[in-house]
């Protein structure tokens, strides 16, 4: 175990400290479900950064911060007689059993590691679709757009609204790209470097077509088994790394990237890319 990891403790110890803080610390005692919302969002993003970087010590710390939020809300609810941490754990256990009836159902058979159960599984989205009243029911309003598109498409696929393979969504991407290109060609000079102002009918039309294109690309990612958020995250990191390489190469050669021009920068880009 890396020396940077903290000592182990029981979950009951963490819960005990949370209850004590609510009793004796003024700031902790003043918090409510509502006041803690921004902190939960912040901690989730910090955990995501740690996971992206693959830093085990940071992951442990950030998971602890997320656990703090779970326990904080549980203790606040316990104080008002609504529910407690045991109910939260019970909700998790019930949900996991419901999601894996081939393992925990009344007619399930004992099976050890490595036993094939895939043939008995019903896709989770199909199971959930039976109890949902609408496609978007239960999806958080603040869900990032890429992930929201992915989840909406997963849910639609769960009721059979899906292509049989990646060829369908790939063709849809080509179709949507063609519509974007046709719209830009139609308006010609209207879509110069900075486009047209928001609110203009041409802007609204282009925004709609580009949205359709993005949605189609997300669907292609989903069908290919790639999460669009993770794919874009890696593309962002790759672009950042390469462009910083361009900046570094330009600085070493006395080139001002702000005035070098596209041709010069493109040549530097190709050089950096070839050297990876």
Measured from the Cβ of residue 223, the count of other Cβ atoms closer than 10 Å reads: 20
pLDDT tens digits for range 50-71: 999 999 999 999 999 999 999 9
Closest CA to 229 of 155, 143, 147: 147
Class of domain 11-83: mainly alpha
CA angle (240, 220, 231) in 5-degree steps = 25
Contact 143, 151 (CB under 8 A): yes
Query: Positive or negative, the Cα torsion across 26, 29, 30, 31?
Result: positive
pTM of structure: 0.71
Question: How much is the average pLDDT of 13-24?
Answer: 97
Domain ranges of the chain: 11-83, 230-274
The span from the CA of 197 to the CA of 242, in Å, is: 31
Under the banding of pLDDT at 50, 70 and 90, the label for residue 10 is very high
What tens digit of pLDDT does each residue of 131-162 get? 778 888 888 888 889 999 999 999 999 889 99
Q: Give dist(CA 41, CA 260) in Å, integer.
A: 41
* Cα–Cα distance for residue pair 205/183, rounded to 1 Å: 8
Percent of the chain exceeding pLDDT 90 equals 68
Does the pLDDT value for residue 6 go beyond 60? yes
* Chain-centre distance for alpha carbon 233: 10
What is the pLDDT at residue 192? 60
220: closest CA among 263, 163, 275? Answer: 163
């Amino acid at each position: 175990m890396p020396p940077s990891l903290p000592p182990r403790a029981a979950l009951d110890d963490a819960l005990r400290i949370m209850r004590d803080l609510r009793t004796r610390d003024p700031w902790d005692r003043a918090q409510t479900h509502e006041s803690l919302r921004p902190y939960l969002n912040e901690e989730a993003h910090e955990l995501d950064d740690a996971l992206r970087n693959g830093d085990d010590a940071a992951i442990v710390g950030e998971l602890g911060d997320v656990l703090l939020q779970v326990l904080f809300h549980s203790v606040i609810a316990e104080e008002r007689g609504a529910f407690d941490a045991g109910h939260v754990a019970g909700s998790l256990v019930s949900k996991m059993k419901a999601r894996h009836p081939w393992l925990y159902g009344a007619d399930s058979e004992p099976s050890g590691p490595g036993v094939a159960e895939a043939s008995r599984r019903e896709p989770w989205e199909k199971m959930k679709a039976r109890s949902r009243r609408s496609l978007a029911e239960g999806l958080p309003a603040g869900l990032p757009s890429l992930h929201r598109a992915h989840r909406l498409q997963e849910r639609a696929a769960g009721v059979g609204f899906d292509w049989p393979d990646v060829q369908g969504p790939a063709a849809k991407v080509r179709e949507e790209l063609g519509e974007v290109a046709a719209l830009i060609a139609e308006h010609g000079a209207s879509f110069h470097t900075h486009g047209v102002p928001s609110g203009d009918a041409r802007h609204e039309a282009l925004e709609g077509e580009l949205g359709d294109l993005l949605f189609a690309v997300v669907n292609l990612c989903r069908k290919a088994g790639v999460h669009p958020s993770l794919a874009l995250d890696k593309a962002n990191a790759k672009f950042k790394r390469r462009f910083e390489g361009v900046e570094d190469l330009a600085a070493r050669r006395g080139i001002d990237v702000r005035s070098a021009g596209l041709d010069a920068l493109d040549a530097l880009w190709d050089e950096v890319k070839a050297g990876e």
